[in-house]
Each structure stands twice: as structure tokens, then as C-alpha cells.
Amino acid sequence: MNLSPTTHVSLLLRLSDPNDREAWGCFVGLYAPLVYWFFRRRSLQDADAADLTQEVLRVVIQRAKSFSHHGGRGAFRAWLFSIARNHLRRVLAKSQHRRRLSGDYVALECLEEIAAPEEEVRLWEQEYERSVFAWASQQVRQRVNPSTWDAFWRTAVEGKSGEQTAAALGLTPGAVYVAKSRVMARLRALVEEIEEREGN
């Protein structure tokens, strides 16, 4: 699988081919965790969040041809956010109607909370960045040897020194530095390409 995802419009159009596993894997790997997080953050149960995530992805695929990418900052993410938010609104509205019949207005309060999305958009963007990093990390990790990845992870993520990492992995501090630099360069290039292809 090519490390570089295709443009998002092209990727979406490729999803209409059920045999294009590369496109589906890239799309799901990048966006399913983000949509799932959004629903779980609103206290939906795991199964409900997973079901709604599948519904959102299905809607995105169905509407792929109508999505117009104008090159604006985060255009695709904003479109995906609006679809996920609309699904959440429908679920909460149904729940609110049922609860109103029983005198419980908790769901109505939840529905009112998502009416002003500024904070939600900020959190959505943060989670998107985490999702991209997780996806890119998985792609890069599959393409480097384990000691190279471990050297990167221990120093860049866990904050261990080059000397500690070198001793633990049986490498020289110089080899640890080179490994960390190589992995970071690959991650940076992949993330930048994703960002560029989204119109950032």
C-alpha cells in the first residue's frame, strides 16, 4: 500500500469500487476513529457509537460525488463533522422525544449543548490531529525495523534519553539519533501530505 493517500475527492470516488481495499483501508483508518471518538465523547455506548460511525461513513460514501472540494482549510473535515453532528442531533432528538414523554429532559439538554459548536470544532480538530498521527505512525511502523521504531518511540514519545534508549536496545547513541530522525522525517512527510491534500 502506498504511504501517500490520494486526494480526498479521488479517495472518496474510489470508495465506490468495492474491490478497492487500499482506498477503503486509508479512508477508514483516517476517519473512523475520529467519528467514533465524537460519538463516544457524547456518552453514547460503544455499540451505538460504532453503529453511528458506520452510518456516517456510509453517508460520506453515498454523497462522495456531490462533495465539492474548494481547497479551503479543512473543507473535508468540516463536511465530515457536519454529517456526524447531524447524525448525533437526530439520535438525540429521538431520545429527547422519548424522554419528554416520560418527563426526563436530559437528552434535550444534550441537544442544546451541541447547538454552539465552537468548542466542539476545536476538540474535533485536536482529535483529527491525533487520528492522523496514529494512522501515519501505523503506516511508518510497518515499514521500518522494530529497533528503529523503538528508538523513535522511546525518545520522541516516552521522553527517554538517547543514552537510556541506546543501552536498552543495544545501539549506540548515534544510531538512536539517526533512527529517531528517520522516523520523524517519514512521519512529518506523510502528515504534511495528508494536510496538503485536505487543502490546508
Query: Does the predicted TM-score (pTM) go above 0.75?
Result: no
Domain boundaries, the chain: 1-117
Classify domain 1-117 by CATH architecture: Orthogonal Bundle (1.10)
Nearest to 60 by CA among 21, 30, 95: 30
- Cβ-contact 28, 57 below 8 angstroms: yes
* Residue 19 DSSP label: T
- As given in the structure block, the three cell numbers for residue 149 are 521504531
**CA pair distance 89, 83, nearest whole angstrom:** 10
CB atoms within 10 A of CB 98: 11
pLDDT tens per residue across all 200 residues of the chain? 343 444 455 666 677 677 778 778 888 888 899 999 999 988 788 999 999 999 999 888 887 767 655 555 567 788 888 899 889 888 877 776 555 544 454 444 454 455 456 778 888 888 988 888 898 999 999 999 999 999 999 999 999 999 999 999 999 999 999 999 999 999 998 888 777 666 54
Question: 139 to each of 6, 9, 86, 143, 191, how far by Cα in Å?
Answer: 15, 21, 31, 7, 11
Q: Which of 72, 64, 69 is nearest to 16 (CA)?
A: 64
